[in-house]
Amino acid sequence: MRMFQGVMKPLARLMIVYMLGLGIQLPAAQAAMVSTQAAVSAQQLEDQRDRIRALFQRDDVRQALIQQGVDPAQAQQRVDQLTDAEVQQIA
């Protein structure tokens, strides 16, 4: 009987902690349907960004940047930081 009581106390404490943990409310995840237009628009924007990145990979563009005194790596970083509206305007 003593052995049973020795096991029950830690088990009871564990169950108390477990039951208190169940009472904590977690915020619900927010979810919404993504429209086809939104998905297509996001894909088109990413395609436009890829086209601009590909432009900076061309040797003639890199040489033109260097001739103008522009570091191609810095120009690439700036292109990566363009807003969506700026990407659409350029592409």
pLDDT, one tens digit per residue, over 35-89 is 888 888 889 999 999 999 898 889 999 999 999 999 989 988 998 898 989 988 8
Q: What is the per-residue pLDDT for 90?
A: 84
Query: How many Å apart are CA 53 and CA 58, to the nearest integer?
Result: 9
Average pLDDT over residues 2-29: 79
Query: How many Å apart are CA 90 and CA 13, to the nearest integer?
Result: 64
Q: What is the per-residue pLDDT for 44?
A: 92
Choose from 1-5, 16-20, 34-38, 66-70 the range with maximum mean pLDDT.
66-70
Dig out the tokens for 75 from the structure.
């120009």
> Does the pLDDT at position 1 exceed 70?
no
2 — pLDDT class (breaks 50, 70, 90) = low
